[in-house]
Structure 1
Amino acid sequence: MDFDFELILAVAFIVVALAWGYDRIVWAPKRKAVMAGMTPEALALLDKEAKLKLAGTPKWLLEAKSYFVIIAVIFGLRSFVVEPFQIPSGSMLPTLKIGDFILVNKFDYGVRLPVLNTTLIPTTEPQRGDVVVFKYPENPSLNYIKRMVGLPGDVISYHDKRLMINGKLVEEDLLAELPVSLNPNREPVAVFEEQLGDAEHQIYKSYRRNPLEGDWVVPEGQYFVMGDNRDNSADSRVWGFVPEANLKGRAFYVWLHWDDFFSLPSFKNNGLIE
């Protein structure tokens, strides 16, 4: 079962916000009236928790209200500033490794309404070469991460493991050949440095034939994305384009690496994402 944490957090925020508002409008005046009838000496004996319980304020309401600030802060930060994600697959190797924990800038592509993802305040446009997080078009409850390759109006071609954009081959240089033992996908790969826009980054290519070839024209309002692990990535070559409304933000930093529950967290991969 897929859980949409963003939706769950939004519902939690609405619930505690309603509880806080209900308390302020209905029960706070009642508590104030009770305290107005008490002597200064009696008031001095009451701590903050005791004052909140005056006038028979329901316990469930106080419990819900107590979570308002922390949930509001988390909801605000995740929705409008920065959101953490964990890398679950090797589709972005060697840039991002399985178990990397990353931070995503949520306002780079516009300030968006939580859950609905509707743009409230436009900011900057996605750039070719950005590493982007987006809602998977075929199942919006899932978040995917890929590299931005094609912008609206671009003509993308991928044949014989060479990427061409608008009739021009993308520059790449062979850096190394990795044996099976050094590749999590358990096959030998060639490591290339690729230039996409202003982004210089590394990509993997295997030595086996890749059927993911073709030519695409990127429609207006949509984008073409690919994984850096070119022969082990289900991306726009498989399921098509990413609508602008599905973009969540730009991945910009790796802050932790944790292989699994039984291993120790590591900071060896910390750094900006190229």
Structure 2
Amino acid sequence: MPPRRVVTGRSQEPRQRFAEELRLLRSQSGDSLRKLGEVLGWDWSLFGKMESGETLGGPEVVEALDQHYGTSGLLLTLWELAVGDPTQFREQYRRYMTLEAEAVSLWHYGVSTVHGLLQTREYARELLTVGGTKGDELNRQVEARIGRQVLLTGADAPHFRTILSEAVLRTPLRHAQAWRNQLEHLVEAAERPEVTLHVLPQAAGLYGLVSTDVMFLRLLDGRTVAYTENTHRGELVEENSSVERLQRVYDAVRDLALSPAESRKFIGQILEEAPCAPST
């Protein structure tokens, strides 16, 4: 494992220091940018931009680099300093991402938006934009979100079950074709063996997760943890009794949802109703 280095004697400007460390670690490992991209599942050009200081990348890709180089959080610490706001990447979410990468199965409920693992690039961009993200930061977060979708690829991909409220499917994007692309992407994802998709129709009435997104992670050691999220905050839940209570609520929601076959048909009907982009 590469020895942990101190900042003294290197670039003191955080962004330059971060890029310098990336270049040094890759040089010591003997990896090419293309090889790094193949191993970690991101486009190799992103790593080139990070090493040149053009972009900082996202927390997900930095976490992956820390694990690849065995640097025990050094890169994430430098990234936080370069971003200038360490609080935006909270310890709970850092731990959640680590656990997500180790999970053997994932179960999700989305109350108002498509989960990032199933978002198109256009959907991710508009969602982040309405949240106030813009400029280089917007591009960085879009790439990080799309890059995370590699989790669902490969022979060892975990099974991912998602339940989407009907409201998710009734809230279109500004551009008609971008919205059709997202609906088509969901239909295609639902056909994949590692993805099970349910729709919770509005006719189901009120239910236990009416205002909360939740993700359950089944880990290699048999434990299950949960991550709940609303507009303002997220919380990692690891205490067994709390996770079990959430699971009971999730199971009740699943009982109200349409079957996978019915859900695919439901999304197909919404797709038929969705306006087409104007011809040019």
Relative to the length of structure 1, the TM-score reads 0.24
Larger Rg: 1
Relative to the length of structure 2, the TM-score reads 0.24
